[in-house]
Structures are given as C-alpha cells and as structure tokens.
Amino acid sequence: MVNASKPVSCTLVGDGMVGKTSIALSFIGKQAEENYVATVFENYAGGTSVAGEQYTVSIYDPAGKHDYASMRVCTYTDCEVILMCYNVSDRDSFDSIASFWLPEVRKFRGTKSTVILVATQTDTRNPDSDSSVSTEEGEKLAREINAGGYMETTTQNYDSVKTVFEKVVTCALKCRKKKKTLFKKISRR
Amino acid sequence: MDTDMSASGGGDPQPYINEDFPSDGNEDGQLFESTEEPEFEFDESGLELAADDDLARENSEGSAFQSGSITPDGLIDEDFEKELGTPSDGEEEDEGEFQDVAQHNILEVAGDDVYGRKVIIFSSCKLPSSEKLDHQRLFLYLKHTLDQYVENDYVIVYFHYGLTSKNKPKLSWLLQVYRELDRKYKKNLKALYLVHPTRFIKILWNVFKPFISAKFGRKVMYVNYLHELKEHLHFDQLVVPEPVLQYDAKQVKSNKPPYPYSGDRVDDSSGAQKTQQFGVTLSHIRQNYKCVIPPVVEISVEYLRVNALDVEGIFRRSANARTLKEVQKKFNQGLTVDFCTEGDVHIAAVILKTFLRELQEPLLTFDLYQPIVRLHNQDEGRQMVDVQRMLREELPEDNYIILKYILQFLTEIVAHCEENKMTSMNLSIVFGPNLLWPKGQASLSAMGYLNNFTRYLIDHYRDLFES
C-alpha cells in the first residue's frame, strides 16, 4: 500500500497555540484532543496519495514555545519541508513568522529550504476584527518569504488538512527531483 | 616550486643554515639528526638539571605518557631519552637561535586534549608582517617545535583570524611545508582544528581535497565558534590570543543561538551595562540594583498576579516580537515598565520567561543539572528528601529566594486552572526549559525529566518551601 521509497518528512513550526498538533492529529485521522496540553515533541506518520501514488508523510511536531529552540534545531536538519503555521485570528502569530520563525529556519537550514505557509483555524476568521489576517496578506507574505505555497486550513474540514499534506509531498518531490537532475547533469560529464 | 623557493628564501636563510648545520639544508632528515647529536655532547653537564626540569614540567602538564600513549615499554624508554635530550636543549636553543621567531609566540603548546594528546596552537594573528619575519626561519622553528612532539599523537589548533594580506605567508611556503614535513608529522597529527575558517579557506580546501590524502582530509575540522572546541580540548588550558577572543565574542553575538550557551561569553560584566537585566548573571543584577529579586521579575509577577490569573493560556501564548524587544530594552536601560500601557498581558508572561531563559546560568544552576536529571530513577519517598536537600543546601541562597518567589506565583496560577487552563503539567512544559538547561545540547529524554521536576516543584511547593 505504502510507497517503498523514503517517506516525506516535514516539520511544523509556528507560535504556541496556533494548532500545529491539531493539524497533525487531524491528518492522521485522530480527533484533536481537548485537553489543552502544550507539546514538547511529537512525531506522527500518515499516508496520502498524490498522482495515484501512496506516500508516507512523517510529521515532526516540536514545541512552538520559543523556549524550546535548542530542541527544534535537530528537527530542522532532517526534514524536507517546513510548514510555517499561524493562526488567522491572531496577528501576533502572523507577525512572528517573519520576525522569528523565518530567521530561525534560515539560520539552521540555509536560505534554500522549502517552506509552506499555512494559515490555521480559518473557521474562526472574523473579517471585521483587526487582529484577523486576510487571505491576501497571507499570500503576500508567502511571496515575500519565497514560500513553496500558501495554504489555508481548518481542522473542521478534513479535506483542507489533506491538501496541505498533499502539497508537502509535491514540494518534497519537486525538491528531490531538482537534486537528482543536478546530480545527473554533473555525473554525465 | 623549487625555483620559487630558492628565489624567495635563497637570500636569507641560506647563510644561516650554513652556519649552524654543516649538512645541506635541503635534506631534512640529515639536518635534524645532525642537530641533535652534537647538542647531546655539549649539554652533558646540564643534562641532569634539564632532566629534572623536564620531569617537573611533565608532571605539571598532566604527563603525555600516562594519559595518551599506549606505546610498549621499549618505546616509552626511547621516547623518554629523546624528551630528556631535545626539549631541554631546545629550550636553551630557543633562547638563542629561534628567539626572533619565538618571541612572537606564534606556536604554543597547551597541555593535553581530552583524549590525552598534545595540543599545539598556531595563532595567525600573532604573525608579524611578512617583511619583519623570515618565513624560512618560521618553517624551521615550526619543524623544530613539532619535532619535540611528533613522536606521540598530537593535535593542532589553528586560529585563522588575524591573517591579513600583510602577514600571510606565500602559497609556495605552504606547499613547501606540506612537502617537507614528512610522514611522521602527518601520521601522528590526529586532528587539525581550523578555528573561524573563512569561506575562502573552505573553498580552497575543497579544491585541494582531491589531491590530499583522504586520511588527512578526515582530520581537518572546522570550528566556527570557540565553544565548539570544548568538546575536544580542555578549554581552560588553551591560550587563546586576545584578538581571537574578541572576534569570537563578536561572532557569537551576531549569530547568537536562540538558546544560551553560558560560558562562551568571555566575561559578563565588561560588555554589559550596569542596568542590564537580560542576559547577565543574577549577581550582576544584585550588585547594580541592590535587591535579590530582579526588578523585572518582581514587576512582571506583580502585574500578572493582578491581571492575568484567569487569562486562558497565560505563559503558553507568544507575544508580539517587536513589543517584546522594546520592553526588554526598557528594562535593560533601568527604566520602570508599566505593563498596563502595553495592552497585552502575554507580554509580561513572555518577559518573565525570557528573563529566565537568557540568564547566563540557569536559575537552578549548571551544577544541579546532572543531579536533577538523575532524580527520576529514584523512588518517591527519597525524592522529597533529595529535592529538599538540593534546594536548601546546594542551590545558592539568592537563586533559592527567586525560585521560591516564582514558584509561589505559579501555584497561584495553577489554583485558577479552571479558567486559565494552565495545569501544573502545562506550566511545567513552558517553564521547564527556562529554569534549567545543560551546557550543551539537551536531549529529548532529559527534557522530559526536567519538565517532570518542574512539575514536582509546582505540585509540592508547600512541602518543599514552607515546611
């Protein structure tokens, strides 16, 4: 059932309480827990199919607290795609993408890392509120940080979660292919 | 290359070689044999004294023989004779012959590394400009110094910082060094630490790598920050030149990892302002503010106690990074901050956490790290006694008072967990890594133990602090 090739790995980053763990849990088909406990470090694996092929996606879910920076470092080095999450109804979490998360990821992964910007809890979006972040703003930020994509998601809608991880797989495959062709080009000479 | 050599070094060093070593300067093996033997004869009178000196030095340096070399007995004897002979002579010789080179202290020997191998330091910042220094002499001096140690394993620490176009030796010289230092030098060199390598060096190295033996390639290690050396060397023994230290401090500062490495900040008080509260030591704050509990802690706790006990996710939420920086700056300038004007209760919570995280030494101290991690495999009954003893006897008094102050507040938050949803478990996850961290990288399991410990402190606050 599952593609024998290397599983696609991704890391969820973003401020505390934007719902990173919830996305991961929802993707692997578990109900997001209601017990309100901060994550230290979790690792999940789920399957998804892209273009008719089954892929395993392994998800690292490190703590979003800035306090746990030292632990996140190791997850950065061995994942292929980074999912940067913010809560659409919490502008601070949106601001920290540019002011905290991007610099941190750039520092440990270099500038050429594949990043997907994910807007979470879109069901809570209130267009009248000041703190709410619009789709346009999200897309603009995604362009600015040169992200591989911008996705909106809510755990209320399983399909929106699934598309996020399908995007992860396509991004990772694109990245792998790039490396492969470069290698071929060199070795052919 | 040969023509190059004779062109650059032909003028000066040749007469010098002729003077001291009757043999041809180009055949190194002969050259050095011939230097050793006559000295042996000359020095007979002073040999005993020199030997004593040498033994004393050996002992004080932690003895290369005891720690490192797993040589058969015969070899040690042989080595010993050599040690008795050459270095003592060498020292006298240094005075006279190599004094012009030696006075710069370009090469230094700094005891043993953690595996018991001799450490030799080469600092490029001490190289004088090319006009003043004859590189041919430097090479001879290099070889001469190395000769004393190459019989055993040794490592070289190379401080690249400070090499400029003015004092850098010619490439031809480097090639000459590589060629003329024969197998024994390369074989016993166990590691070459390149400290603060520039991009240019890395590129150059990659270009030359295919031509240099793979074995040697593996020995070269880049060291971007001085504290990385600590894994391999006894850092205290290293004589790091001042400019390199400053450069490293600058590097560490500009690329400061988000988690604090204490210790690699060279000295805490010199750079910090008197009013500084973040990123300093508790004693620094106490000295300048004349109070045990740092003002930033007191102000934020007082504020949170009034305004945030029933705020959902207090201490879990992040705050606006920009506001945070401004508030931090105000505290560092010694101004009083009124959190009411900042508009967000989470600012105060994050400030408190940030303050703890940026302390140079964690509140629970590095000394207690291991004992606390080890606590988890003890049974419940003993735990209480142990923790009590640790807190009361081993934790410095100031730390104890501050810890008690903060924990007491945390118990108040837990008392309101119906509204704020922050149970002791939740709080311990967000506070654990701010109360204690190891000097290096924390492991995942250790993190769990630390959080358990923090939870234990919150849950048993009454028994631990008030009985």
Q: What is the pLDDT of residues B183-200, one digit of tens each?
A: 777 777 878 888 888 877
Question: Is A99 close to B321, i.e. CB distance below 8 A?
Answer: yes
Arithmetic mean of pLDDT over chain B: 73
Answer whether A77's CB lies under 8 Å from A67's CB: no
pLDDT band at B35 (very low <50, low <70, confident <90, very high): very low
State how far the alpha carbon of B34 is from the alpha carbons of B15, B21, B29, B310, in Å.
17, 7, 9, 85
| Average pLDDT value for residue range A152-164 | 90
Of A142, A57, A53, nearest to A94 (Cα)?
A142
According to the model, what pLDDT value does residue B95 have?
46
Which of B318, B359, B417, B451 best tests the A interface by mutation, with the highest count of A CBs <10 A? B318
Q: What is the mean pLDDT of residues A43-51?
A: 86
* Res B302: pLDDT: 92
Residue B282 pLDDT > 50, yes or no? Answer: yes
- B282-358: CATH topology is Phosphatidylinositol 3-kinase; Chain A (1.10.555)
Check: pTM over 0.90? Answer yes or no.
Answer: no
Residue B224 and residue B458: Cα distance in Å, rounded? 40
Q: Determine the Cα–Cα distance for residues B13 and B18; give it in Å rounded to an integer.
A: 9
Distance (Å) from the C-alpha of residue B453 to the closest C-alpha of chain A?
Answer: 15
- How many angstroms separate the CA atoms of B291 and B278, rounded? 16
Residues of chain B whose beta carbon is less than 8 angstroms from a beta carbon of chain A are: 255, 257-259, 313, 316-322, 344, 350, 353-354, 357, 421, 423, 425-426, 429-430, 433-434, 437, 441-442, 444, 447-448, 451
User: Which of A40, A66, A74 lies nearest to residue B429, judging by beta carbons?
Assistant: A40
User: What number of other Cβ atoms are within 10 A of residue B423's Cβ?
Assistant: 19
Phi, psi angle pair for A68, to nearest 5°:
-100, 25
Q: Residues B72-81: pLDDT tens digits?
A: 444 444 444 4
The CATH superfamily label for domain B99-255 reads CRAL-TRIO lipid binding domain (3.40.525.10)
pLDDT tens readout for residues B419-454: 888 889 888 988 888 999 888 777 777 888 888 899
Question: CA-to-CA distance for A14 and A102, rounded, in angstroms?
Answer: 10
Q: What is the pLDDT of residue B255?
A: 61
pLDDT greater at residue B405 or residue B151: B405
Handedness of CA B135, B139, B140, B141 (dihedral sign): positive
Instruction: Band the pLDDT of B23: cuts 50, 70, 90.
Output: very low
User: What is the average pLDDT across B282-299?
Assistant: 89
Same fold for the domain at B99-255 and the one at B282-358?
no
Tokens of B292: 């045990």
List chain B residues with CB under 8 Å of A37: 423, 425-426, 429
Q: CA B82 → CA B51, B56, B69, B111, B437, distances in Å? A: 11, 16, 15, 19, 47
Residue A55 has pLDDT above 50, yes or no: yes
Considering only residues A175 and A6, tell me which one the structure prediction assigns the higher pLDDT: A175
Residue B12 has pLDDT above 60, yes or no: no
**B459 vs B373: CA distance, rounded Å:** 18
Residue B301 has, within 13 A of its CA and on its CB side, a CA count of 19
With CA atoms as reference, the chain A residue closest to B439 would be A70
SS3 of residue A159 by DSSP? helix
The shortest CB-CB distance from A70 to any of B353, B423, B442 is to: B442
B25 vs B344, higher pLDDT? B344
What SS3 class is residue B462? helix
Residue B417 structure tokens: 């967990």
Mean pLDDT of chain A: 84
Of the pLDDT bands very low, low, confident and very high (cuts 50, 70, 90), residue A35 is low
Say which residue, B53 or A20, is predicted with more confidence: A20
The single residue listed with the structure tokens 């950065």 is: A76
For residues B274-289, give the mean pLDDT: 87
Confidence of residue A131 (pLDDT cuts 50, 70, 90): confident
Q: What is the CA radius of gyration of chain B?
A: 29
Q: Is the pLDDT of residue B37 over 70?
A: no
Residues B429 and A63 sit within 8 Å (Cβ to Cβ): yes
Q: What is the mean pLDDT of residues B303-326?
A: 87
Domain boundaries, chain B: 99-255, 282-358, 368-466
SS3 of B390-420: the string is HHHHHCCHHHHHHHHHHHHHHHHHHHCHHHH
Is ipTM beyond 0.90?
A: no
- B448: closest chain A residue by CA: A40
CA-to-CA distance for B145 and B154, rounded, in angstroms?
A: 12
- Shortest CA gap B426–chain A (Å): 6
Per-residue pLDDT at B457:
92
Question: In whole angstroms, what separates CA A79 from the centre of its chain?
Answer: 11
Q: What is the pLDDT of residues B263-273, one digit of tens each?
A: 334 344 445 67
Min Cα separation A95/chain B (Å): 7
Distance from B164 to chain A by nearest Cα, in Å? 28
> What value does the mean pLDDT take over residues B79-98?
45
Mean pLDDT of A78-90: 89
CATH, domain range B368-466: 1.10.555.10
Angle at B460 (CA atoms; ends B458, B461), nearest 5 degrees:
65
Q: What is the CA radius of gyration of chain A?
A: 16
Query: How confident is the model over A142-160, as a mean pLDDT?
Result: 89
Q: Between B100 and B20, where is the model more confident?
A: B100
SS3 A33: coil
Alpha carbon distance B235, B438 (integer Å): 17
How far are the Cα atoms of B306, B309, B322, B418, B456 from residue B412, in angstroms, in the given order?
A: 11, 8, 29, 12, 15
- Rounded Cα distance between B31 and B344, Å, is 77
Distances (CA, A) of B19 to A20, B11, B24, B137, B147: 77, 14, 11, 14, 21
Specify the higher pLDDT residue, A42 or B267.
A42
Tokens 């004869």 correspond to B41
Percent of chain B with pLDDT over 70: 73
- State pLDDT tens for residues B391-411: 988 899 999 999 999 999 999
Distance CA A43, CA A59 (A): 6
Is residue A47 a contact partner of residue A56, using CB atoms and an 8 Å limit?
A: yes
Whole-number pLDDT of residue B414: 92
Give SS3 for B129.
coil
Per-residue DSSP letter, A31: P
Q: Which domains does chain A have, with CATH numbers?
A: 6-187 (3.40.50.300)
Give pLDDT, residue B2.
42
**CA distance, residue B381 to nearest chain A CA (Å):** 28
Beta bridge partners of A115: A82
The encoded tokens of residue A10 equal 């991704």
Please say if the pLDDT value at position B390 is more than 80.
yes
Q: How far apart are CA A132 and CA A134, in angstroms?
A: 7
* Coil, strand or helix at B147: helix
How distant, in Å, are the alpha carbons of A44, A62, B93, B213 from that of A57? 8, 16, 68, 41
Residues across chain A: 189
Maximum mean pLDDT: which of A27-41, B26-40, B89-103, B291-305: B291-305
CA-wise closest residue to A57 among A118, A116, A8? A8
For residues A109 and A82, the answer to whether their CB atoms sit within 8 Å is yes
Nearest CA in chain A to B444: A71
Interface test with B, best of A20, A39, A68 (most B CBs within 10 A): A68
End-to-end CA distance of chain A: 38
Instruction: Tell me if A40 and B425 make a contact (CB, 8 A cut-off).
Output: no
Weakest-pLDDT range from B116-130, B321-335, B372-386, B419-433: B116-130
CB contact under 8 A, B318 and A15: yes
Mean pLDDT of all residues in B277-306: 90
Question: Where residue A33 falls among pLDDT bands split at 50, 70, 90?
Answer: low
The set of long-range contacts for A101-107, using a CB threshold of 8 Å and a minimum separation of 24, is: A101/A13, A101/A14, A102/A145, A104/A13, A104/A69, A104/A72, A104/B258, A105/A13, A105/A76, A107/B255
The single residue listed with the structure tokens 């080595």 is B79
Check if the beta carbon of residue B197 is closer than 8 Å to that of residue B247: no
